[in-house]
Amino acid sequence: MCKPIRVLHVFGVMNRGGAETFIMNIYRNLDRKKIQFDFAVESGFQGDYDDEIRQLGGNIYVVSKPDRKNVTKYYFALENILINKGPFAAIHSHVHFFSGIVLAIAKKNNVPIRIAHSHTTKDDRKTSFPRWLYKYTMRKLISFNSTEMVGCSKPSCISLYGGKNVTKGNTRIIPNGIEIKKYNIEEEKIRFIKSKIGISEDAIVFGHIGRFEKVKNHKFILKVFMEIKRKMPKSILLLVGKGNLKGEIETFVKINNLGESVLFLGLRDDIPEIINVFDVFLFPSLYEGLGIVLIEAQAAGIPSICSDTVPLEVDLNLGLLRFISLNCPVEDWCNGILSQINSKKISWTERSKALQNEGYDISKSKTILHSIYLGS
């Protein structure tokens, strides 16, 4: 019996971010007798998905974090994995601009399929000449060393590969597919989940799912919610995720006496159920590659209000999304949110059809990546 080919994914750490969750959705639905995933990560800390990866038959290899002092160390660590833990049929890099280095190492070591994958439209680094030079060099390295340049949206491709590569057709968009059927949940189960969390039947539930980092704009969410709470006293806010700024956000909640109205649910592995509890999804991100949770919200039929920095490709044209500028006052956001509460219900048939038509079924994403990995 032939062994499965192995694909090495390169991440910072396998936590529950959008990119990581997408790849895990692919991994769960893959024919693992034909293709197996391994992961090279920069953190020696336990990742949220590490145990599941091992259960599925994957390996996790730790390389040093590639700051300026450790680039050489990273180079030899990754090369050692490619030489001694392979052979790898493909390497799939998710570390944005640093993919230039990753794919150069892979090409030197004769990995036949070399994929750069863009999941965002910006990075958090300040603009400077050294940073511009770094990005320029990495783009050149990616173009020269990759066999595939892919992204979750057109803006994410432009961000990493440059407009010329997109215009010339050198890039490919792979939708962040989800397991669609998981989001079709009966009302009785939703009521049960609410009671389990401790949400009263007459509460109006607002929610957000995302890591507690600057880009997700949690303080703005809370400022908007405070205005909503003033107009609708029975409102509650559910915050799902973890991150470096969680303590700061918890302090903000306490100072503003929101403790009984804001619930921190931590990391969850039942997102399809939790998102169905929301009456409105709040998503005022500073930027996004796509915003996969908005796809999930539409799959569940939940109306959302999001910043206009989110790529328009996320809209399935079901009338469930409303975009507002972050420059607009809180009052405008509040009014927009309240109008979303009264938006019409979209049937499961309509939602399912839209997701299928726009390519957000995980089976379609899996098929695209399957063909890339096999070089077909």
Q: Output the average pLDDT for the chain.
A: 93
Q: Does the pLDDT of residue 126 top 80, yes or no?
A: no
pLDDT band at 127, cuts 50/70/90?
confident
Average pLDDT over residues 44-69: 89
Euclidean distance between CA atoms 87 and 109, whole angstroms: 10
User: What length is written for the chain?
Assistant: 376
Strand order in the sheet with 5-10: 60-62, 35-41, 5-10, 90-93, 113-118, 148-151, 171-173
Model pLDDT, residue 264: 97
Euclidean distance between CA atoms 340 and 326, whole angstroms: 17
253: which DSSP letter?
H
Model pLDDT, residue 291: 87
Model pLDDT, residue 178: 93
Model pLDDT, residue 193: 93
User: Which tens digits make up the pLDDT trace of 265-296?
Assistant: 999 989 999 999 999 999 999 999 888 999 99
Asked if residue 159 lies in contact with residue 180, where contact means CB atoms within 8 angstroms, the answer is: no
How much helix, strand and coil, in percent to the nearest 5, is found in the chain? 45, 15, 40
Model pLDDT, residue 123: 73
Model pLDDT, residue 300: 96
Three-class SS of 76-103? HHHHHHHHHCCCCCEEEECCHHHHHHHH
Beta strands in the chain (DSSP E): 5-10, 35-41, 60-62, 90-93, 113-118, 148-151, 171-173, 204-209, 235-240, 262-266, 280-283, 304-307, 321-324
- With tokens 């503003």, the residue in question is 256
Which of 286, 293, 289, 360 has its CA nearest to residue 320?
A: 293
Model pLDDT, residue 342: 76
pLDDT band at 112, cuts 50/70/90?
very high
Q: Does the pLDDT of residue 69 top 80, yes or no?
A: no
User: Which tens digits make up the pLDDT trace of 9-54?
Assistant: 999 999 988 899 999 999 999 999 999 999 999 977 899 999 999 9
Higher pLDDT, 269 or 343: 269
Q: Does the pLDDT of residue 129 top 90, yes or no?
A: no
User: Which tens digits make up the pLDDT trace of 165-224?
Assistant: 999 999 999 989 999 999 999 999 999 999 999 999 899 999 999 999 999 999 999 999
Q: Does the pLDDT of residue 303 top 70, yes or no?
A: yes
Q: Does the pLDDT of residue 125 top 80, yes or no?
A: no
Give the rounded percent of residues in the chain with a pLDDT score beyond 90.
Answer: 83
Tell me how far apart the 2 most distant CA atoms of the chain are, in Å: 66
Model pLDDT, residue 1: 59
Model pLDDT, residue 201: 87
Q: Does the pLDDT of residue 254 top 90, yes or no?
A: yes
Asked whether the bond before 87 is cis by omega within 30 degrees of 0, the reply is yes
Model pLDDT, residue 259: 87
> Cα-Cα-Cα-Cα dihedral of 151, 157, 161, 163, to 10°?
160
Average pLDDT over residues 342-360: 91
- Among the residue ranges 113-117, 131-135, 254-258, 315-319, the one predicted with the least confidence is 131-135
pLDDT band at 344, cuts 50/70/90?
confident
Model pLDDT, residue 68: 67
